[in-house]
A = this chain, B = another copy of it.
Amino acid sequence: MSTKSFRLALDVGGTNLAAAVVDQEYHILSRESIPAGAGRSIDEITSDMAKVSRMAVQKAGLTLEDMSFWGIGMPSCVNSKTNLLVHANCFGWKNVPIYDYLKKNMPLPVRVENDANAAAYGELIAGAARGYKNALMVTLGTGVGGGIIIDGKIYAGADNLGGQIGHTKLVYDGELCTCGQKGCLEAYCSATALIKFAKRAGLYNSGSKEDAQTVFRFAKEGNPLAMKLIDDYVSYLAAGLSSLIAIFRPEIIIIGGGVSAAGEQLFVPLRQKLENCTFGAAQSGLPPVVCAELGNDAGLIGAAYLDMQNQ
């Protein structure tokens, strides 16, 4: 007897296709992962997206009949006005009728969403933002990703191509960003940016690992150069978040990604700087700023429940 009480999630990246079965309590029951095989045809890759998802179902001891939905997070966006996946840089795809491909291989209702948005939704329903309706999630990793939740739903602009927090401008005419523009939040607040500034300042010595955590560790040990780098980094992040608070006045801000592992070394000065640099903070208060709880599972759990967006 089929139950339809489980959901199938897929996290698509340039390296791996990671699938999971998620239950009604937002628990992940099984996982499967296969190489993404970037460079192959759309047919081959989308066929593998279905294949690894079926593998996860099998591993959970269930069948497709037990699944109510297939949710997919990808580093891309589907234009809500054309239903085309506008670009997936990891595969070199552009304007792909993704749903036509996906439906060929899977008899389930399906929805594709930007992976940062799926992660924000996961934190909302099962993680750090449980119980809130209006949240902002910012992921500080290789880039700066963002997810905006308004009234319990993902908000990504009029055509679903917006919500690009990482590419709002923080420093007019500033550092070159990966997107080709100058001064984006991502060019100052990603882990990559912190590493860039640390290298430029000559922080790393021959034995030290050139990553963001090393900068935080050196700062904790009292290295003045590292302390200055972290202070600047947190100031940039606070300024960027202050703009988003002025617009969205979220009920909670969740910080995820590699940099968030610095914990209170990041959060204590961040909250303090936000008090000082945010429009209306003194009169109207500030939302709590907390660490993401679900790590990489946020995207899978959020994707599994994307159909709730339509209600």
Contact = CB atoms under 8 A, between A and B. Distances in A.
Interface string A144-165: 0000101000011111111111
Contacts of A246: 162, 164-165, 167-168
Interface string A118-147: 000000000000000110000000000000
Contacts of A249: 156-162
A57 interface: no
A1 interface: no
A172 B240 CA distance: 9
A239 B173 CA distance: 9
Interface in A245-302: 245-251, 277-280, 283-284
Nearest to A245: B162
Contacts of A280: 161, 164, 167, 179
A225 interface: no
Contact of A158 (B134, B171, B242): B134
B242 A169 contact: yes
A236 interface: yes
Contact of A169 (B79, B162, B240): B240
A20 interface: no
B239 A169 contact: yes
B167 A169 contact: no
B158 A133 contact: yes
Contacts of A179: 279-280
A18 to B, nearest CB: 27
Q: Which of A249, A250, A283 is packed against the most chain B CB atoms within 10 Å?
A: A249
Contacts of A134: 157-158
Contacts of A107: none
A133 B182 CA distance: 30
Interface in A179-208: 179, 181-184, 188
Interface string A69-110: 000000000010000001100000010000000000000000
23 contacts: A134-B158, A148-B247, A158-B250, A159-B249, A161-B280, A161-B284, A162-B245, A164-B246, A165-B246, A167-B243, A167-B246, A167-B280, A168-B168, A169-B170, A169-B242, A170-B172, A171-B171, A172-B174, A172-B188, A179-B279, A179-B280, A181-B242, A181-B277
Interface of A: 79, 86-87, 94, 133-134, 148, 150, 155-165, 167-174, 179, 181-184, 188, 236, 239-240, 242-243, 245-251, 277-280, 283-284
A-B CB proximity, top 3 nearest: A157-B249, A134-B158, A168-B243
